[in-house]
Amino acid sequence: MVSTEEEGLVRPMQAVFPLGCTTALNPGVEVDSTGSVASLCTPWEADLYGCSEPCNWPASVPDSMTYPEWNQGTSNGEADWRSLGQIYPDK
């Protein structure tokens, strides 16, 4: 919380990204701002599409511009996540 002297009011500070989002999306470092998991988006399956596109995780979750075929027919992340495949599967 921050105060504005002019107005004598206390108002919430405007966050630059949604609270609860991960702040580090480096490969292999999908952890929250404390380096732990408490603030990861969960249930992750429900947040998949809502977070990956607006927050732009194109190196972690295939984006719809580059990989439009990736999630075709799986519009409900929570229900359909099991159908999602891997980019660069090594058989």
Partner 1 sequence: MAARVFERWAAAACMFLLGAVAFAEAAAANAAAVDGKTLMASRCVGCHTLDNDGHWSRIGDQRKTPEGWHMTLTRMQHNHGLVLNDAEKDAIIKYLADTQGLAPGEAAPYRYVLERRNNTIEQYNAINRPDSNGIATRCTTCHSYARIALQRRSEEEWRLLLHFHVGQFPMIEFHPAARISAWWEENEPHLPGVLVGLFPLSTPAWSEWRKRPSPDLSGEWRVIGNDPGVGFYSGTRTIKRVGPDAYETTTSWEFADGHNETREGTAVVYTGYEWRGRTNVRREDIREIYAVSDAGDQITGRWFLARHSELGGEFTAVRVRSGGARLIAANPYGIQVGTTRRITLVGTNLSGVPQFGPDLHASIVSRTADRIVVDVIAAPSAETGLRTIALEPAESRATLAVYKAVDQVRVAPEYAFCRLGEGGGKIPIVGAQFEAIAYASMPGASGKDAASVPVAVLPAKWALEPHTAAAKERDDQLYAGRITSSGLFVPAQGGINPLRTKGTPNNTGDLTVKATADFDGKTLEGTSHVIVSTGMLFFNVPIP
Positions marked catalytic: 47
DSSP 19-35: TT--SB--TT--B-TTS
- Report in angstroms how near the CB of residue 33 gets to partner 1 at its nearest: 10
- Nearer of residues 11 and 17 to partner 1, judged by Cβ: 17
Instruction: Give 67 or 76: the residue with its C-beta nearer to partner 1.
Output: 67
Q: CA 42 to CA 27: how far, in whole Å?
A: 19
Q: Of 32, 72, 73, which is closest to residue 51 (Cα–Cα)?
A: 32
Shortest spacing between CB 17 and partner 1, in angstroms:
4
- Of 3 and 23, nearer to partner 1 (C-beta) is 23
Residues that bind partner 1 (CB under 8 A): 16-17, 21, 23-31, 35-38, 40-45, 53-63, 65-67, 78, 81-91
Cα dihedral value 18, 22, 26, 31, nearest 10: 180
